Homo-oligomer: A and B are copies of this chain.
Amino acid sequence: MKNSILKILPLFLGGILFSQNFQDSIQFKKISDEMLVNSTAYENLRDLSLNIGNRLSGSKAYEKSVDWAVYKLKEAGADKVWKEEVMVPVWERGKESLQIKDKSGQWKSLKMLSLGNSEGTKGKDIEAQIVIVKTKEEFDQLPDASVNGKIIFFNYAFNQKFINTGQAYGDASKYRRSSASWAGKRGAKAVIIRSLSSSFDDVPHTGMMKYDEDDTFKIAAVAIGPKSADELEAMLKTQKVFAKINSNCTMKGEILSHTVIGEITGNKDKNVIVVGGHLDTWDVGDGSSDDGAGIVQSIEVLRAFKKLGLKNNHTIRVVCFANEENGVKGGNKYAENIRKNKENHLFAIESDGGGFTPRGFGLVMNSDKRKQIQSWKNLFEPYGIHNFDSQHAGTDIEPMQPLEVPLAALIPDSQRYFDIHHSEEDTFDKVNRRELILGAVAMGQLIYMIDKNW
């Protein structure tokens, strides 16, 4: 008898597992079908991108997008929608220009963007000879006379050899973040950096920089496109080149702003599952990929759960974070508040890699939970989701890590993102409807599994 049970038990359990897997695959298909046929994500993105456009936090456009998100979350069927207050920096760009002059003696304008959070030249012309370096090491070896009073051009190129362009971005990012401080400390007048771009076009890309706290002078920091960078490098091989920078960008203190939150209440308990993106963008393009896509995908998850009547056990909460780009104040405030309010969070996922065809999930959690999600891989494979090995989440949800909230990132294909990221080229026409929706499908499916199993 005992023996027979031992023999039958694995078959029996196998049967349950098989049948469970089958049931889950049916739910996966329901979520996918509903979104591919009825999703409002693409039209919502069109509306947000074309009718509001770029929306740096602290700007009026950002506050318009707050009202928009409140409206869209209600329209999607949220049981509850609210705004979470948060103080954000106000950085304004203003007029700006970069000219260069070679031995011809003629000033020539280059396309440029001041780096985010940088201080400009207060509307005055800053003029100096350009000194080129390719790396931090080269810069450190420059004699003081080659730095002091000069404009340093950091021409570190995006490494095309990485398959995941996010790695190339990470590899080059210190030049955007820190070169103004490195050069400012040694008396340079300004820095020019080669944009962090996977393209070879002439589009400049902005993005956050940061002065060190001990910086005496906050020197101007501007980015130029890869083509201009190559041309400038070639010119500097044979002659002296001078630059003239005039810019008005400056930090103007802080202002009250909002993260927008909407949720479907849990049927069993008040534990929270977060799906989100950031509502703010840089002040160029329309921010469709960074991160309009993450916002409309997150709202789509809520819409589809509601429409399908999926009866979530736990509360599913869409969070449209404020100020990811130049401060992460929204993400930090959210984590602070859930700690204060003792809200138990089961899981959080962010989509902030663009609305490109999805390929997997980054997983930041203990190995038991990671292995459990990886064990669901066969359910995801028919949807093109194959990568479960990456270990990163998202800038806005990372402040929840000390609270031991299991975190994840939607991983879209990375090839096109850094062609347009933080530039005038980040526009709605770069987003494909089906790719965008499939990102929402993948997040919806993962949330379905976590809601049911955790």
For A356, give the chain B residue with the smallest CB separation.
B357
* A to B CB contacts below 8 Å, 30 in the list: A32-B161, A32-B163, A33-B161, A36-B161, A37-B161, A160-B434, A163-B382, A163-B383, A163-B384, A163-B438, A165-B434, A198-B434, A199-B433, A200-B433, A357-B357, A357-B413, A357-B415, A359-B384, A384-B413, A386-B386, A386-B387, A413-B413, A415-B432, A415-B434, A415-B435, A415-B438, A416-B432, A416-B434, A416-B435, A419-B432
**Which residues of A, 319-350, contact B by the 8 Å Cβ criterion?**
none
B residues in contact with A384, CB < 8 Å: 163, 359, 413
- Whether A37 touches B160, Cβ cut-off 8 Å, given contacts A384-B359, A413-B413, is yes
State the Cβ distance, A195 to closest chain B Cβ, in Å.
16
**Contacts A32-B163, A416-B432 supplied; 18 other A-B pairs, CB < 8 Å:** A32-B161, A36-B161, A37-B160, A160-B434, A163-B382, A163-B383, A163-B384, A165-B434, A198-B434, A357-B413, A357-B415, A359-B384, A386-B386, A413-B413, A415-B434, A415-B438, A416-B434, A419-B432
State the Cβ distance, A305 to closest chain B Cβ, in Å.
19
B residues in contact with A36, CB < 8 Å: 160-161
State the Cβ distance, A198 to closest chain B Cβ, in Å.
6
Contact residues on A (Cβ < 8 Å of other chain), bracket: 20 to 34
Contact code string A425-452 (vs B, CB < 8 Å = 1, else 0): 0000000111100100000000000000
B residues in contact with A382, CB < 8 Å: 163
| Across the A-B interface, the 10 shortest Cβ-Cβ residue pairs | A386-B386, A415-B434, A36-B160, A415-B435, A357-B413, A33-B161, A416-B432, A357-B415, A37-B160, A36-B161
Q: Which of A359, A383, A415 is most buried by chain B, counting CB atoms within 10 A of its CB?
A: A415
B residues in contact with A357, CB < 8 Å: 357, 413, 415
For A432, give the chain B residue with the smallest CB separation.
B416
B residues in contact with A165, CB < 8 Å: 434
Bound Cα distance A257, B225 (Å): 44
State the Cβ distance, A126 to closest chain B Cβ, in Å.
35
Bound Cα distance A165, B200 (Å): 31
B residues in contact with A163, CB < 8 Å: 32, 382-384, 438
Bound Cα distance A343, B163 (Å): 37
Bound Cα distance A33, B419 (Å): 19
Contact code string A163-202 (vs B, CB < 8 Å = 1, else 0): 1010000000000000000000000000000000011100
Contact code string A87-109 (vs B, CB < 8 Å = 1, else 0): 00000000000000000000000
Bound Cα distance A384, B415 (Å): 11
B residues in contact with A359, CB < 8 Å: 384
B residues in contact with A435, CB < 8 Å: 415-416
B residues in contact with A160, CB < 8 Å: 36-37, 434
Bound Cα distance A387, B413 (Å): 15
For A429, give the chain B residue with the smallest CB separation.
B429
